[in-house]
Each structure stands twice: as C-alpha cells, then as structure tokens.
C-alpha cells in the first residue's frame, strides 16, 4: 500500500519515472505547470506499493513516496 | 649582536616564508628557483607543514588555490615560463578574493629564453598578467635581506587584502649569497578568515567562486575589486637616495637598482649629482612620490633589464616638463656599474 | 503510512536548472544521499568543475570551491592537505576531467590523495553546446565531429575508470550507469562506497557515471536512456575495476 506525491512545479515531464514504475502507474497531467511542462502524476493510489523506483529515477527530486 | 646568516636569496625568501607562518608549498622545478622547492621539501616536514612537488605549474597554482580557500598560508614559486602557466590560476585567485603568495624568480624570455636574470616580466606582474580586470600586489626585492623581509610583508598583505601577491625577483637575486640579519616575524593584526572553506559546522555554507552570471553581479564585483585596488595604494613602498641635490635621478627596481647604487657612487665621485628612486612596490606603483620628486628634479633615467617596461609607469608619473630617458640592459648577463655610468653620462 | 523517500538534507530545496531527463540531477541526489548517510554535511567541501557541473554550489548545502576548468583535483589536493579530517569531493564532467584536466586527475590519483571524484560521463560537452569530448564514441556526431568521430582523425574514446584503476594510488574505481532502476541502485552503492573509502583514509576514490545528455544527443530522455544501454555500456563496461581492502598499500 503506497502513495506518491509529485511536486508539479519541479517536474519537467522527462518521463523517466514512467520507465521506472514496474506497474506503469504514472501518467501526465492535462494541466501544464508555470514552466510549460505537463507534469507526471500517479494514475491510481490503490495499485501503488510505494517501491519508490519512480522517485529514485527522478532527476529533479520531484517525487515523494509513502508506504 | 643580532644573528646573521650568509645564504642565497632563494633560501632567504623560503626562510622568511616559514617564519611568516607559511606551512604549504606547491611547486614545480624550474631554473633558477629550484632552491626554493628543495628548501621547502626539507623544512616543511619539520614544522608539520606540507610540501608537494606538483605535476606542473598549472597544478601548483591550483593546489595553492585550494589550500588558500581552506584558510591556510600557502605559496608557490616559479620562473617566467612557469609563471605564464600560472596566469589562469592567478586570475581565479584574484576573482575569488583569495590570499596567495607567488614568487617569480625572473629569467630571460620570451619562450624558453634563458636562465639568466631579466626584468622582462614587469608588465606581466603589474598589469594583472592573466585575463580580466584585476591586479596583484607586486613586491620587488633588491637584496637577500629584502628577499627575506618582503616575504613577511607578502603574506600579511595577501591576507589583509584577500588578494594574490607577487614577489618579483630575478635569477641574480635568487642565486646570490649575502649576509642578512635573521629577523623575527611580528604578526600583523588581521581579521579572522571566517570566509574560509572548513566544513559548514554550525554556520551557513561558505562559497569561494569567481563566476558571476546574475544581473548586475559582475559589475558590482568588478567595482568591489577596483575599490580594493585603490585601497592598496596605502601600501606603497619605495626607497629614495641622494635626491636632495640631484640633477638626474635613476628610476630602477631589483637588481638594476642594486647595480645602479654602485654606478651612482662612481658618478658622484666624478662630481655628477645623481640620485636613485627605487620602487619596492611595483603595484601599487609609487607614482605620487615620483611625481612630487619630479616637481624639483627634471631629468630621469629609467634603467631596466629589459627593453622598456617600467619606464612607461615612470613617464606616466612624472611632471609634464620632466624628461624621462631609458637605458635597457637586455637579459644575458647582469649590467655592470661602468656600463650604467656611461648611460648616466650620456643623459646627464 | 510513513515517508520512505524524500529530498536528502544536503540538497537544497531549489529547482534544478538542468535539462529534462539530464542525469546531473540524479547524480547530485546520489552524492547528497551518501553525504547524509554518513552524516558528513558539516565537514564536507565540494569542488565544482566547469561545465554543467559548475552550479554545484547552487544545489548542495555545503562549503564549495569553484575550480578553473580541469583543475578541481588539484584544488581538492590543496584543500585536503590543509583539512585532513574533512571530506573533499570533486564533481566533474568529461571535458573537465578527461580533456583539459587529464594531468590533474592522473596525478591526483597517482599521489593517492584521499579525496573522492565524481565523474559524469555523457560523451559530449554539454554546457558549451555539444562538442566532441574525449569520451565521444566512434561514429558519434557532435558539433565538432559533424561526420562522426573517426579514430584516424580523433583517436578512440578514453576509458577513465579502467585507466585510473591501474594506478597504485587509486583505492576505488568504478563505472556505473543510471538508465535502469537496477543500474541506479548499483550506482547508489558505488557512490556511497567511494565516500566510505575516503572516510576510512583508504586513498583516492573514483566513480564514473554514464549519463544522458538528451539535449546534445538530439533526442528525448527515454531514447537517451536507451542509448546509454545500447551504445555507451558496450564500450564503457560497468563494474568495479579496483576496490582496495584494508590498508594494503601502506
């Protein structure tokens, strides 16, 4: 049982987190941030197990993880 | 009876540096200054200091940058071609406002040149030398005693102004042996180095850098350095001899001044009224003192072991109605007094 | 639920200005994590190289010195010789370390200076717009090798981790990558081990991290990750090339 929180303003939509997530749970927001990027966001909290691989792969330290 | 030593200029300088608290030396061998690294390689271990023969002069100046950033008194030495290699590092030291002492035992150039003394690095030393709008303090000894005593001053001024200081010697000064008084170092009162990088324990992190990219930063920093160089003017030092009745005054520094002193004795014995103005700080140049002298004395002879460098500063400093002549003794061998006497007579 | 992942304390809470998908941010975080793991923040001094590495002082909450291009190992030597009980690391790119700084890195390793070097190898000069680096691969197009790197003209790419491992002064030399989670975990271990070597006074420690530069590779971050796997790793093999045990060099 896990949860991630993405800092929308720090995310540059590089998509490395989508590569890392073993369950492919990360999608991109329809709303851009002030930099013009469409940030990553979790698609569903129920399936996330808080493995934190997304956060480990994020070059912008934009993801926090709870388990 | 004060203790005297009979030693080489290079060693006198190194002895003075250790007395002044220098515990870190980084350098690379080059003639004619090898006595300096060799001395430090033996002596620093005895005072729990650190000597590194670096892989190049480039590495030397950068190790000096690191040691200085850590708050230590540290120095390097080299000779002309090696000093050229250090210019980038010196520019960074000045831009980062780090104290450092750099000794140039000048040899002949340009290029590989020769190993005999010259004064061909005056421009390099006094005009910054590397890129950017900066200056280094430049001290010019003319005796083994001064090679020793000026190293005290070099470390104090470097710390006082957070700036690199160049001691501009030459092959003759480095290699000659003379007696000198074994003076003690009396520390100058200086502020603590709270800017140094020692690990941010119980304080905000410190930063040593010279990069200024943000709006207005570079301009502010440049003027800050400029103001510092203006304040450095109070460190001006020079020697004036027999100027009261002089018809002609020789302007010379270092070994050229040393030989000029003998030439002046010869001239005076022939009735010629010749004096000497010897800058000890080449930056800041004692222009105001020289200008005051030129209100009364109207003829100057700039004597240098090059083809004309300090003479430009002499011309810039003297009154408009004073004549400035130049005698250049290019590198190859030191000038002799008789030769300088001839030069004096030509313009007297 | 408790928090299992957050920003390390040594990393300032400011946005990174690196390009999207650039691994510099990840590497900064790995270094900060190692610093925090051993509680080193208040006794560590970083030395920044020149290039995209130059902004280290903006991001790490520690004392930092800026070195001239290539000279960080020499500056670090000066710092470490004065501050023997402090932790000194350099952070350099492939131009800084393997081109202009080649003399400094080889001799600093050879002297066995007890410092840690973080080497970011992305096979190009990033900051200056994508010129050829000593690590640029054969056939790779860059702004100064528009026809692709050719060994007759430019020589072969240089393998730093192996080369430095041959020196007696080197206590730890490893090459890692960040393009997969598995590689990233090994990278994290290697960075931590490198700092551990310094803490234990073992001598010179070195980690080469194969990284992406999506902007100057002319691609996106996902394809860049693929390139690391398909092109970089075959030429720059991952592994630990030297790991000294005990003080067997004394």
Query: What is the per-residue pLDDT across C27-39, written as a single tens digit (0 to 9) for each?
Result: 999 999 999 999 9
Positions in chain B whose pLDDT score sits under 70: none
Contacts of A15 in chain C (CB under 8 A): 21, 220-222
Cα–Cα distance list, B234 to B227, B276, B289, B295 (Å): 12, 22, 12, 22
Of C43, C82, C86, the CB nearest to B72: C82
Pick the closest to residue B249 from B295, B291, B301 (CA basis): B301
Evaluate whether C80 touches C114 at the Cβ level (below 8 Å). yes
Pairing of strands B164-170, B137-139: parallel
The class that CATH gives domain B239-347 is alpha beta
Q: Do domains B4-194+208-234 and B239-347 have the same CATH topology?
A: yes
pLDDT for the residue numbered B90: 98
- Please name each of the domains of chain C with its CATH number: 24-243 (3.40.50.970)
Residues C172-201 have pLDDT tens digits of 999 999 999 999 999 999 999 999 999 999
Q: Where are the domains of chain B?
A: 4-194+208-234, 239-347
Q: Return d(Cα B229, Cα B226) in angstroms, integer.
A: 5
- Cα angle A6, A9, A10 (rounded to 5 degrees) comes to 70
What topology does CATH give the domain B4-194+208-234?
Rossmann fold (3.40.50)
**Is some CB atom of chain B closer than 8 A to the CB atom of C150?**
no
Quick count: other Cβ atoms within 10 Å of Cβ C248?
8
- Report CA dihedral (C228, C230, C232, C236) to the nearest 10 degrees: 120
**Tokens at residue C139, please?**
């056939």
pLDDT for the residue numbered A45: 61
pLDDT for the residue numbered B274: 98
Residues C132-146 have pLDDT tens digits of 999 999 999 999 999
Pick the closest to residue B83 from B172, B177, B163, B170 (CA basis): B170
Contacts of C29 in chain A (CB under 8 A): 59, 61
Residue C250 has pLDDT above 90, yes or no: no
Instruction: Find, in chain C, the residue whose alpha carbon is nearest to that of A38.
Output: C20
Evaluate whether C73 touches C110 at the Cβ level (below 8 Å). no
Evaluate whether B153 touches B20 at the Cβ level (below 8 Å). no
pLDDT for the residue numbered A55: 97
**Is some CB atom of chain A closer than 8 A to the CB atom of C7?**
yes
**Tokens at residue B167, please?**
């001691």
H/E segment holding residue C65: strand C63-66
Cα–Cα distance list, B331 to A40, B30, B107, B147, B305 (Å): 71, 17, 8, 21, 6
Evaluate whether B267 touches B275 at the Cβ level (below 8 Å). no
Q: Which CATH number characterizes residue A17's domain?
A: 3.30.70.20
As a whole number, the mean pLDDT across chain C is: 96
Pick the closest to residue B61 from B31, B36, B24 (CA basis): B24
Q: Return d(Cα B169, Cα B255) in angstroms, integer.
A: 8
Number of domains in chain A: 1
| Beta-carbon contacts below 8 Å between A and C | 79
Q: What is the least distance, in Å, from the CA of C84 to any CA of chain A?
A: 32
Which residue range(s) make up the domain with A37?
A: 3-66
Positions in chain A whose pLDDT score sits under 70: 45
The predicted model scores a pTM of 0.93
**Tokens at residue A5, please?**
């929180």
């Amino acid at each position: 049982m896990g949860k991630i929180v993405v800092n929308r303003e720090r995310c540059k939509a590089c998509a490395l987190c989508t590569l890392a997530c073993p369950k492919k749970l990360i999608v991109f927001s329809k709303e851009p941030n002030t930099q013009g990027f469409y940030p990553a966001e979790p698609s569903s909290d129920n399936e996330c197990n808080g493995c934190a691989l997304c956060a480990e792969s994020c070059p912008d330290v934009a993801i926090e993880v709870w388990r | 009876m004060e203790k005297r030593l009979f030693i080489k200029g290079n060693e006198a300088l190194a002895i003075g540096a250790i007395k002044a608290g220098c515990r870190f030396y980084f350098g690379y061998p080059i003639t004619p200054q090898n006595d300096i690294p060799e001395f430090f390689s033996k002596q620093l271990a005895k005072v729990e200091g650190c000597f590194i023969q670096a892989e190049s002069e480039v590495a030397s100046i950068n190790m000096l940058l690191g040691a200085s950033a850590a708050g230590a008194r540290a120095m390097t030495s080299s000779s002309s071609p090696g000093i050229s290699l250090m210019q980038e590092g010196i520019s960074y030291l000045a831009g980062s406002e780090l104290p450092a002492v750099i000794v140039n035992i000048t040899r002949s150039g340009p290029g590989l040149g020769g190993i005999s003394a010259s004064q061909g690095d005056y421009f390099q030393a006094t005009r910054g030398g590397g890129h950017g709008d900066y200056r280094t303090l430049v001290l010019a000894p003319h005796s083994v005693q001064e090679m020793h005593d000026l190293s005290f001053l070099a470390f104090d001024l470097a710390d006082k102004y957070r700036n690199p200081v160049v001691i501009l010697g030459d092959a003759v000064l480095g290699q000659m042996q003379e007696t000198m008084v074994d003076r003690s170092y009396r520390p100058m009162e200086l502020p603590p180095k709270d800017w140094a990088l020692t690990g941010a324990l119980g304080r905000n992190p410190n930063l040593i850098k010279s990069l200024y990219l943000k709006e207005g930063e570079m301009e502010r920093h440049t003027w800050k350095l400029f103001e510092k160089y203006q304040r450095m003017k109070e460190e001006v030092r020079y020697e004036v001899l027999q100027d009261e009745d002089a018809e002609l005054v020789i302007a010379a520094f270092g070994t050229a001044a040393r030989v000029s002193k003998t030439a002046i004795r010869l001239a005076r014995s022939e009735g010629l009224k010749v004096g000497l103005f010897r800058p000890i700080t080449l930056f800041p140049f004692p222009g105001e003192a020289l200008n005051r002298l030129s209100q009364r004395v109207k003829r100057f002879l700039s004597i240098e072991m090059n083809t004309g460098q300090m003479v430009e500063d002499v011309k810039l400093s003297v009154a408009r109605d004073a004549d400035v002549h130049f005698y250049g003794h290019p590198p190859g061998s030191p000038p002799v007094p008789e030769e300088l006497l001839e030069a004096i007579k030509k313009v007297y | 639920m408790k928090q299992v992942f957050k920003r390390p304390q040594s990393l300032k809470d400011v946005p990174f200005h690196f390009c999207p998908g650039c691994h510099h941010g990840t590497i900064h975080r790995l270094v900060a994590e190692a610093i925090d793991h051993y509680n080193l923040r208040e006794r560590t001094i970083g030395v920044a190289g020149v290039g995209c590495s130059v902004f280290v002082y903006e991001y790490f909450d520690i004392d930092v010195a800026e070195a001239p291009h290539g000279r960080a190992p020499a500056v670090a030597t000066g710092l470490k010789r004065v501050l023997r009980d402090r932790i000194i690391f350099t952070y350099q790119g492939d131009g800084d370390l393997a081109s202009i700084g080649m003399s400094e890195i080889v001799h600093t390793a050879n002297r066995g200076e007890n410092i840690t070097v973080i080497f970011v190898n992305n096979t190009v000069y990033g900051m200056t717009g994508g010129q050829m680096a000593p690590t640029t691969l054969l056939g790779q197009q860059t702004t100064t090798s528009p026809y692709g790197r050719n060994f007759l003209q430019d020589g072969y790419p240089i393998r730093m981790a192996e080369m430095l491992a041959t020196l007696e002064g080197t206590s730890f030399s490893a090459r890692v990558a960040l393009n997969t989670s598995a590689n990233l975990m090994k990278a994290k271990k290697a960075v931590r081990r490198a700092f551990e070597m310094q803490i234990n006074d073992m001598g010179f420690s070195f980690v080469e991290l194969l990284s992406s530069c999506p902007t100057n590779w002319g691609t996106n971050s996902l394809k860049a990750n693929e390139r690391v796997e398909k092109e970089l790793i075959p030429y720059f093999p991952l592994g630990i090339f030297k790991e000294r045990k005990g003080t067997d060099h004394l």
